[in-house]
Amino acid sequence: MGPVDVEQAEAALVERYPRLVRIAYLVLPPTMGRSRRVLTAHALVQRALPRRRVPGPAVPEPRRPEDAVDPGYAYVRGEVLRQALVAGRPLRRLAVPRRAQLPPLLPQVWGLRLYPRAGGADELALDQLLSRLSGPARAAYVLRGLERQGDAEVLRVLASVGAEDPESALAELAGLEDGPEGEDPEAREEARAPRGGERPERVAEQAGPGRSRHATAPPPPEATAEATGGAIGDTGANAGTGPPPEAAPDGGPAGRRLSGASLLESAEFDPCTLQARPGDLLRRRQHGRAVLVGAAALLVCGTLLGLPGDGWGRNGAAAPSYARNPAAEAALDPAAVKRVGPAVWPGAVRRDFSVWPARGDLVGDAALLRRALAVWARPGGAVESSATPGTPVGPPMGPPQLLFAGRVDGTRVVLLHDGLRVVRYAEPVAGTAGAALDFARADAAEGPEAEAVVVSRADGNVRYLTAPWVTGASVRDLLMPGKEPWALGRDAHGVTDAVPSPALARECERWNTLQLEDDSGSRVLGDLGELLPARLLWGPPGAPVDATGREARAVWARTACQMSTVLGQGVRSVRAWRFARQTLPEGAGRAAWVCTRAETWRGTGPRVLAQFLPPDRKAPAALAARAQDAPACGVREPRVLAGALWQAPGGGWYVLAAGGPDVASVAVTGAVTARADGPALAAKAAAGTRAELSATLEDGRRMPALR
């Protein structure tokens, strides 16, 4: 065979396309199913073209009778056989599948199954015979019966296409005792001919398809010219060398029994003349629904992943929503947010957050409110979130009330109230990094406790949003009791100017507080690092007042720095009370004992401090004792007992102790033993002495010291 180029092979493929597809269909294993065999046969033929010119042998061999076959057709037929044999091999678990073993990418028919026309009993018997043969044996059977090749040529073709053991393939055919039902004796004799008994005269007188027109003899009477074509739908009955079954003299295949060659050329094995039937409609519908659901999921995921990193999405920095219900959706609707008018609070019975009007230049920004509500309900991982102890951080139970929405210190701030909590949402005006969410309890806040909310913290300063009934605002430094407070400016929305915050300071050099005025008087609020400033009080547990008097300011000036121990604890109010006075030994003067109690919004976890104030009014208080969750110095237990080791100006050391007004006696035990009538005790001791204190009340009960 001479060299074959691409054009020559393409011409042979187009001219003999129906015959090549029939060969592939017959060689493919019947276990594939008729519909898949049809598509696979067309795919194998369409992939049979060479990529470049195929060279022939360097030295031409002697011309043989089979050389009358066109070289282009012989090459394409060989490639079809090669791929058909590969497609029939079983897939191995660890082996890489060959291209021919995979379902064909093209051609594809959607929604239909294609089958060749059904034949009779003879065709069924032949199909059953082919199913029992191996792939090389089927190829040998097709080459013999359809291509009219002798055994020597069959062996050569099988060897050239890489078939395993061509001799065994012919032996497998020879081992068949009987052919398919209806095969004539001559065909059986031809199938059983010895492998060395090739009859050249038969090959020469029955030129197969694709053979040269210069053959040595004309074709037999049953051989006819082939019809050209190559598209699905061409009449396959005219693609062989014999007459079509319907052209039989007796009127068709039903009228007589067909020979083996005629069976191979019948419509049963013609993959170019097809019938169409629908597939499994119910399963297709189910698969279609599954594909739609998967596509929708991919679209949603792609949209979420495709959000730009420098722009807010619909819900801003909120995390994805996994569970929805009508109540939660209504609570997150910006249109449902409650807005109180400015004319409500003057006629209200109570003065609390529920009558605050919605203020700020962004109260109408629905997109901002949507992001604030969404982040409140589902704060994402990039949101800086904080909450005072005991404050729930879940979404609102219903539409919250809008207190403020506006621009403050380069951020957009939203303040919301849901009856239990005040929530602050902040996002930068430029960019998306740095969204913040803060929670603070505000249940039962009324009057002075609902007069201010922290709206911004920046550069060590703090700004407040004041209540609408506040008539004046000023700043007072607790460490300078004799200095008058200075006025603090507010804008039209009630936002104050920036004030240095003691909660953000490293040193206790000043302790600025917010002093507010309304129609009922003035009160002092201190920033303890939370959204709601704590109210500062003075006096005994049963009758505290705002720390605005001279005596209160004098004591607070010496104890204010101790408030750093209660920063960020959810403190509602801090009250100081001077519960005892004591004359010191060695004429050192008169000292005072102060109890400071910090109450929380949650009602639990109060902190109690007992402080000793030396006679020097400029000296700060010394911490004598402190306790957590203790009832001392409170409404339930107004009594308190504390002690300290003190050094007199002369160098001597003493154990000092003092209790409330109803203490009958005080005793000390341990390294020092002493007892004194009344609420105060001073006993000489050594440096570093440790002792136990106790007191006896006027009703005879014993009371331990605060620890």
Lowest mean pLDDT of 68-72, 331-335, 336-340, 419-423, name the range.
Answer: 68-72
Asked if the structure places residue 460 within a domain, the reply is yes
Asked if the structure places residue 63 within a domain, the reply is no
Lowest mean pLDDT of 115-119, 296-300, 651-655, name the range.
Answer: 115-119
Same domain, yes or no, for 459 and 574? yes
> Residue 34 — pLDDT band, cuts 50, 70, 90?
confident
Whole-number Å distance between alpha carbons of 488 and 473: 5
CA distances from 206 to 20, 32, 84, 228 (A): 18, 33, 26, 20
Same domain, yes or no, for 582 and 484? yes
Same domain, yes or no, for 581 and 540? yes
- pLDDT at residue 416 in the model: 97
Within 10 Å of residue 294's Cβ, how many Cβ atoms?
A: 10
CA distances from 427 to 75, 338, 430, 514, 668 (A): 73, 21, 9, 26, 58
Q: Last residue of a domain, which of 424, 443, 462?
A: 443
> Residue 367 — pLDDT band, cuts 50, 70, 90?
very high
Same domain, yes or no, for 483 and 435? no
Lowest mean pLDDT of 105-119, 170-184, 327-341, 674-688, name the range.
Answer: 170-184
Same domain, yes or no, for 434 and 509? no
- pLDDT at residue 106 in the model: 76
Asked if the structure places residue 92 within a domain, the reply is yes
Q: Please count the structural domains in the chain.
A: 5
Asked if the structure places residue 628 within a domain, the reply is no
Same domain, yes or no, for 32 and 94? yes
Evaluate whether 585 touches 652 at the Cβ level (below 8 Å): yes
- pLDDT at residue 184 in the model: 44
Asked if the structure places residue 223 within a domain, the reply is no
Query: Using the 8-state DSSP alphabet, how is residue 4 labeled?
Result: B
- pLDDT at residue 441 in the model: 94
Same domain, yes or no, for 157 and 123? yes
Q: Burial of 192 by CB count in 10 Å (0-12 exposed, 13-18 middle, 19+ buried)?
A: middle
Lowest mean pLDDT of 425-434, 468-477, 513-522, name the range.
Answer: 425-434
Lowest mean pLDDT of 277-281, 283-287, 322-326, name the range.
Answer: 322-326
Residue 399 has pLDDT above 80, yes or no: yes
Q: Which amino acid would we find at residue 569?
A: Q
Mean pLDDT taken over the chain: 82
For residue 662, the SS3 value is coil
Asked if the structure places residue 224 within a domain, the reply is no
Q: Last residue of a domain, which of 619, 653, 684?
A: 619
Q: Last residue of a domain, which of 386, 413, 443?
A: 443
Residue range 36-40: mean pLDDT, rounded: 88
- pLDDT at residue 423 in the model: 97
- pLDDT at residue 192 in the model: 40
Same domain, yes or no, for 37 and 154? yes
Same domain, yes or no, for 300 and 315? no
- pLDDT tens profile 46-99: 988 887 665 544 444 454 554 446 888 999 999 999 998 988 887 777 667 777
Same domain, yes or no, for 473 and 580? yes
Asked if the structure places residue 220 within a domain, the reply is no
Lowest mean pLDDT of 220-224, 566-570, 669-673, name the range.
Answer: 220-224
Within 10 Å of residue 300's Cβ, how many Cβ atoms?
A: 11
Same domain, yes or no, for 103 and 37? yes
For residue 217, the SS3 value is coil
702 lies in which domain range?
639-707
Q: Of how many residues is the chain composed?
A: 707
Give this prediction's pTM: 0.58
Q: What percent of the chain has pLDDT over 70?
A: 81
Q: Report residue 234 as tokens.
A: 């061409």
For residue 401, the SS3 value is strand
Asked if the structure places residue 673 within a domain, the reply is yes
Same domain, yes or no, for 12 and 157? yes
Residue 477 has pLDDT above 90, yes or no: yes
